[in-house]
Structure 1
Amino acid sequence: MIGEPEPGQAAAPTGLHGTDGAIVAGGNVTDSSTQYIKAEQAFVLPPKAFAPIPDDVTVSEVSNIGTGLFVGRVDELKALEAAFAQPGKVVVHTVHGLGRVGKSALAAHWAAQRHEKVRWWVTADTEAAVDAGLASLAEALQSGLAGLPAELQRARAVAWLADHDGWLLVLDNVEDPRHIRPLLDRVPGGRVLITTRRATGWHHQATTIRLGVFEPAEAVDLFTRVLTHQGPRDTDSAAAVCEELGHLALAVEQAAAYCAETGTSPSEYLNMLARWPSAMFAAGTTGGDSERTIARIWHLTLNHLTDTPLAGDLLRILAWYAPDSIPRALLHGLAAPPQLATAIGKLVAYSMITDNHDGTLTIHRLLQVLARTPDPDDPHRLPEAVDQARDQAAALLADAFPADVDQPETWPQCRSLLPHTDALTRNHTPDHDTTHTARALDCAATYRVGQGALAPALHALQRALTTRERLLGGDHPDTLTSRNNLAAEYQMAGDLGRATPLYQRTLTERERVLGDDHPDTLNSRHNLAGTYRAAGDLGRATPPAHPDGAGAGFGR
């Protein structure tokens, strides 16, 4: 008979997410031949399938948690101990952070030292993986459950967890809080540690701790241990490699393992990383997990964000700025406020960026390198998408500078944009500059002149002029402004030999394009006269076009 059990017949157990099977038996279940039927398949169930898991299973330790190479994280380990010290009901704590920052290693090391008799690791990136992990726990608790359908094993494990305390579950790499919610709702006691890339969505279920990158000394310690595992090796430049990798745990481990296997020195690795970043980020080692390379982790995380295309666009744009203190206001021209907020929220949720809650964002420098390194085989880093993001980054930056960059009241805003202008122009060659790049350089230079930083201002003005000549021509008004500003910078630096011919050419072009009486032409004539006077050539000097002005003038 299938359906309601007869008197004395066992009912079908229900699992974490329910079952649709049925039990078939006649008479006393304990003495009968019993079948579990599901999807037209029958399983013969031994008597132990219906007996509760014995209470004495925890006399000896039941654990599948081991630990490998581990360094540092002293403060985080103390935080976990404090979080799980409270008695009483179930305690759930979440460790979140960027993919492969070391969350699983921290959880394994901490859990392996715990005193609970039952400590069980469950890979929890999918609902099916959670069920499989619980089924394996049931087998470990009662070997007689081996061979039963997975949903029955899972149901036994959940029932045992619900009836006992003093156990510890580690739910590793949870992608969606909904995958584990049914389990947490069923277990009133015990300890649950969650690792996840998701920074948000836990306020109903768990307290959280954010795991950042290694401290520099910890990163070098890990790199050195991996590199010298088989014997002494050259460790010079190990600190430089770790710094270049942003002290990210997986990146440091991956780089050290590559150096150890291939005989590459740290300094040679740095050179290869600079020349062939895409290949190095994808490089694994023999016997290593090909899914655990930096490029692969980036790819898998962005796959979760395909429903929000703006998130990928935004990440590629942020890759061109400095990694820290990126003003959110800088991005306002990218999309309407609701769409932009959603995209930022998705990146924050997956720990791809950090909201500093002061109007700025932070992104890990290694993610930036990946995002701006084109790869025709990666849909998230197609060359045309990377190029478009670079140009958008320049346009947003140019628009973010105030109109009057030489006025003190605008200086705080200019100061906040300066490191991002430097990063943008440092991370690509001048032949990729756009007119927006030139404007950002010009604005940054004008601000720097006001601060007395003449050398970097001179370099920026030279690059802006070269870009405008290439894209707009030699007599475009913006090109003439750039040439005037560069000449003024040379004059302020005392280099009249370079300033004078630039002023002469600017005046000639403005007279031809704008006419003799245009204000910009008059300004050029005034500036040229100033250089003649400064050089002592009074015979060639002319009266100033503006009686209230003297010397060089920027922006005209």
Structure 2
Amino acid sequence: MKLPSFGQPPGKGGPPTTEGPSQPAVDADRGSIAAGRDILNSVALYVENGTILPQEAYGPVADVQAPAGLCNAPATKLFVGRAEALTLLDAALAKPGEVVVQAVHGLGGIGKSSLASHWVRRHHTGNPRWWITADSREAIDTGLADLTRSLQPALAVMPPAFLVERALQWLTAHADWLIVLDNVERPADIASLLDRVGTGRFLITTRRATGWHHTAASVRLDVLARNEALDLFVRVLTDGAARDTAGAAEVCAELGDLPLAVELAAAYCAETGTSPRAYLAMLAHRPAATLAAGTEDGDPDRTIARAWRITLDTLATTPLAVDILRILAWYAPDHIPRTLLTPLAEAPELPTAIGRLTAHSMITDHHDGTLSVHRLVQTLARTPDPTDAHRQPEAIDRARDRAAELLADAFPSNVDDPANWATCRALLPHTDTLTSQHAPEHDTIHTALALNRAANYRREQGALAPAIEVFLRALSTFERMSGEDHPYTFGVRNNLAGAYKSAGNLERAIPMYEQTLADRERVLGGDHINTLTSRNNLAGAYKSAGNLERAIPMYEQTLADSKRLLGDDHPKTLTSLNNLAHAYEAGGDLERAVPMYEQALANRKRLMGDDHPHTLTSLNNLAHAYEAGGDLERAMPMYEHTLANFELALGDNHPNTLISRNNLAHAYTSVGHLGRAIALYERTLADCERALSPGHPIIDVVRTNLEEARSARRSRSRPS
């Protein structure tokens, strides 16, 4: 009969049982044996066939002692760091008593095997310390058979099944041992082994992040700390020789501090004489080829691409999982909102696909609803390779376009609503990363939509320089793909003009506003709501340029049209009312401006509430008009109320908050409270310089006001 291996499922046969402590007896005349507790059926078969068994096959397995210091764990010459993980293993595997099982999981190339080998050789005193490659049941059986051969070399002639069973019995009969099961692919492969053996220690390394709750306590291994990755790179690069290490930290950062990648890159630089900075340039221009480049004596299977292709082959049975990985490759590596993926599939298909990626350590699913992907996984997943079934150029292009579409759908259209700012902040890094990884000519309509909304949010927050750059790219895409007369093109051109106006560049803003208004009147008609917006914006640009003769009639027409088409209470009507009042105030006509401000404020309070940003804007403007009319007694509390509520609603660094704080400081100056004014100006200037784009007009206004307040205080302190 054939002995089953330990790994067979229950009910399919199993190892022979033992009964009692009887000792085997040998009849020398007849050559027969009396089977004792540890004598297996396969032994009897060999006797019947005339095979002479070694004496070691008959003795009780409990009496077999491991040779002193028996250890086959590989050496770890290049091990660095990992103090916390080593401490965790010390604590977990030091517990006495019943069997202890500890799993270390993580991405391929993260250093799980290196950690296990280092700990086994330096931190564990049990005997034996036995290393088994455990990526299949067959490999596990081979490792167990090899253990028996090392424990009892005379049994090496026995069949593999006998050797496996002998190893299992030995492990069951002893306690002070450690077995490392390296690179376990499936928890089920080792379940029977763990169920069979009730003593000793098992240390498991695996890419599987899940599925261990019934089997083992688990530790997630992350990338090296930057200083540890740098230490590893420099040790491999120099290897006792003097070499240029400038740029080594940048290489480690670009490789995401992944131990295998850092080691291979350093070995390549050492062998080829490539400096770290030159390697960095190679990585930027040809990432896939650079990561695949090996050394003369390197193992061709020990590469990043090879390590992950095996996992992707396993995931190929869930095509959506591989599609998701290709999409995630276009975003920033961390804090990817899981909700971005919602349109891809319904439950249970979507969570199942994400779960498979998580289970195989290709992504990390965080409790805050975000996902993370190692940056090298992303690099390979978005780099075409016709020889790799998972990286076909067409599939990667589709993933890039789908990533843009998901961003465009997720980005709020109303970016001036503070309720949407958290979403905008969460999506902004992913929009930036997506568009930094491919040329503008590959932008789609969805790319441009996402860019336009990201730029609108940036302009709203005062980041004018990056907003203008992004608006320009979006406009170029809309013009190329939608044409000069498409509403999308009009919209982004209007937004770009607004960014130029906010930056004080009226020479560019006014012609753009004029072109957009003319185009909208021609294509959409004079009464379209977007045409009214263009007319309002152009009037505002004229007012900023000091051309009130053109601005005021345009504002008046816009207000009349808005009332006729939208009604007195529409938000755009109230905006027109506020803007016309501002133009009258700029022209010194406070008699007309103040009632308009008061009406706009009353309507916004009624419709939006006291603390809505638009209501606060009206309150600020009315306070400014009162101050201009010399009524600081009414203006001051309005300014203070506006500032306090802007800080609550918009934050300390929003442009509206900074303007409000500047206005309150100006009012303090007007009533002679120079100490309070200067302190407020200084705080405002520091916030402006930190939060706004360099050259933002608000910065110059605040700086000028601060110098005037300081000058006034110096003049006051001089003796007459």
Cα distance in 2 for partners of 1:212, 1:537 equals: 61
d(CA) in 2 for partners of 1:431, 1:283:
30
Q: Mean Cα displacement is larger for which, 129-138 or 396-405?
A: 396-405
Whether 1:61 aligns to 2:51 is no
What are the equivalent positions in structure 2 for 1:93-492 lying under 5 Å apart? 93-113=102-122, 114-492=124-502
Residue range with higher mean Cα deviation, 149-158 or 474-483? 149-158
Q: CA RMSD in A?
A: 2.5
Among residues 50, 58, 72, which one is paired with 1:51 in the alignment?
Answer: 58
Alignment equivalent of 1:543, drawn from 529, 534, 554: 554
The 2-side partners of 1:437 and 1:28 are apart by 84
Contact 2:5/2:141 (8 A) holds in 1: no
Residues 62 and 174 in structure 2, CA contact (< 8 A), matched pair in contact too: no
Deviation at 1:461, TM superposition (A): 1.1
Structure (1/2) with the larger helix percentage: 2
The correspondence for 2:6, drawn from 16, 24, 28, is 16
Q: How does the TM-score come out when normalised to structure 2?
A: 0.71
Does 2:535 match 1:532?
no
Structure 2: distance between partners of 1:522 and 1:221? 62
Percentage of identical aligned residues: 55
Partner residue, 1:9: none
Deviation at 1:337, TM superposition (A): 2.5
Aligned to 1:91: 100
Could you give the per-residue CA deviations for residues 196-247 of structure 1, whole angstroms, max 9, x where no partner exists? 0001001111101111000001001111111111522111111110010000
User: Contact between 2:15 and 2:165, CA under 8 Å: does it hold in 1?
Assistant: no
Highest RCO, 1 vs 2 (Cα 8 Å, sep ≥ 6): 1
Structure 1 residues 372 and 549: CA distance shift in structure 2, 3 A: farther
Distance 1:409 1:217, change over 3 A: same
What is the CA deviation profile of residues 507-533 of structure 1, one whole-angstrom value per residue up to 9, with x for unaligned ones? Answer: 221122112232222322232233233
By how many angstroms is 1:59 displaced?
Answer: 4.8
2:31 to 28, 31, 39: 28
Aligned to 1:79: 88
Q: Deviations over 1:152-205 (max 9, x none)?
A: 111111111111110100000000011111111111100000000001001111
| Conserved 8 A contact 2:237-2:269 | yes
Name the structure 2 match of 1:6.
none
Task: Please say if residues 525 and 531 of structure 2, whose CA atoms lie closer than 8 Å, have aligned partners that are also in contact.
Answer: yes
CA deviation profile, 1:254-283 (whole Å, cap 9, x unmatched): 100111111111111001111111111112
Q: Which runs of 5+ in 2 are unaligned?
A: 17-26, 35-40, 560-575, 583-720
Is the alpha carbon distance of 1:29 and 1:109 closer, same or farther for their aligned partners in structure 2, counting shifts above 3 Å?
farther
The verdict on how the C-alpha distance between 1:44 and 1:431 changes in structure 2, with shifts beyond 3 A counting, is farther
* Bigger mean CA deviation after superposition, 512-521 or 151-160: 512-521
The one-letter code of the counterpart of 2:436 is: R
1:492 CA displacement: 1.1
Q: Give the Cα separation in 2 of the matches to 1:281 and 1:149.
A: 44
In the TM superposition, residue 60 of structure 1 has moved relative to its aligned partner by 1.8
Q: Decide whether the 8 Å contact of 2:232 with 2:263 is kept in 1.
A: yes
Consecutive unaligned residues in structure 1, runs of 5 or more? 4-11
Tell me if the contact between 1:35 and 1:44 (Cα under 8 Å) persists in the aligned partners.
no
Alignment size in residue pairs = 536
Residue by residue over 1:96-136, the C-alpha shift from the partner in whole angstroms, topping out at 9 and shown as x without a partner, is: 01111000000001001221121100000011100001011
Shift of 1:148: 2.3
Structure 1 residues 529-538 or 199-208, which shifts more?
529-538
The structural deviation recorded for 1:505 is 1.5
Instruction: Pick the structure with greater CA Rg.
Output: 2
Contact 2:444/2:477 (8 A) holds in 1: yes
